[in-house]
Structure 1
Amino acid sequence: MFKRVLLKVSGEALAAGRGFGIDAIFIHKVAEEIAQVARTGAQVAIVVGGGNFFRGVAEQAIDMDRVAADHMGMLSTVINAIALQDAIEKQGIATRVMSAIAMHEVAEPYIRRRAIRHLEKGRVVIFGAGTGNPYFSTDTAAALRAMEIKADVLLKATSVDGIYTADPKKVPDAVKFQTITYMEILKLGLKVMDTTAVSLCKDNSMPMIIFSMREEGNIMRVVKGETIGSMVTA
């Protein structure tokens, strides 16, 4: 079983197929699974995306300055982080939101040592606002935070049950990879994570598992070390 994990949850996943906003029923199911993992003694950190509200590279931002659009995207991740914090705390697990953009009234500022201390005390830590910098995705933020807190593994929860040769929703005969290297992802141009995040994990030998969060109990299974999804290694 992994002792300390960083879980990347996309904003689209929290929308649960609606495309926009937060699915209240689904977010409480996710919170319940995270709480179960925390009760086993595993230390859980989370990076949450914001695509269910706003994405800096989305169509609605096409006429906007990229920096302004990315800052809006970062703020949307904080909305998701607060919603997830509320849902997890309803399960009786102490949770902290740490933001890379200062907003003291709603979140703690991100301080690496403080984040690690929260984890050691058994609190779930949710990192909001990405890296705090434009041009960097929340995938890159997840890779960065995973290495900063010395996580055992980076877990990416998506709507697909692993990495395929093509998008399985569009290509029915796409083949799933059980294991794959970061270099192969870059060479094949697979859209698992952005290239900056993949390169960061590759250079620092951070293992990653891509799995589906649509199936109930998968977060616990992957933390326990069961073989689900696709494993990415250096």
Structure 2
Amino acid sequence: MRQARLVSIAFALLTVAGSASAQQQVPLPMQAAPPGPYKSIAVTLPPRQSDASLDAFRKELGDIAKKKDRAALAAKVVMKGFFWQREDSNDADPKKSGIDNLAAALGLDAPDGTGWQGLATYAADPTATPLPEMKGVVCSPALPSFNEEEMEKVAQSTRTDPAEWAYPTADGVEVRAKPEPAAAVVEKLGMVMVRLLPEEDPTSGDWLKLVTPSGKVGYAPAAALAPVGSDQLCYQKDNIGGWRIAGYVGAGGGQE
């Protein structure tokens, strides 16, 4: 499956100085470039899907996720044929039920509840795109389109990887000087890629620190940004026209 994601970047390696005879050299990844301006890469959001029955199904999933009702969720998953597309292989266990494979993919058994939170996030997404190699299967979230070749160049120049980039879910997202709703607005984002920065302040909460293409550093609500590469939850209609969770694309929750 073609994922709209950054092309893998070959990071240069540094070695720890020391006697070659006394100790083995240890390679370290090159550090990312300091925050600064970078080329603006336009992003086109995927269209909303228009199937009312899928909207209703995902609303049911959202309610199930809030209650963490595994039995109810099991009834929404295909009994056989669940797939887990990770890299170029199907990692679903054919000996396990659909719900057990889904639980493994999402990390539903995580004690902190992140697996159920992930399910709720998928259920709330309004987009979907067909999975080309599987007729009748659609996956969500649908991925945005952008110039991957230009994005690779920007990633190389900033020495960053895909996890350090995101895009606004709407035009005009406000970037503020502090992780506070009342903080001064330093810039408004267009529909472009934005570089995320590490944040050591534990009080930042639901805010993400970033640097805009113009080089300004600030904060934006996490809910207003989406990751460049994302796992996907996939759906398929059954024989009577109802929707079921059919599979999962990506590394999955709680994976090492």
- After TM superposition, the score normalised by the length of structure 1 is 0.27
Structure label with greater radius of gyration = 2
Q: Which has the higher contact order (CA 8 A, sep 6+)?
A: 2
- After TM superposition, the score normalised by the length of structure 2 is 0.25
Structure with higher helix content = 1
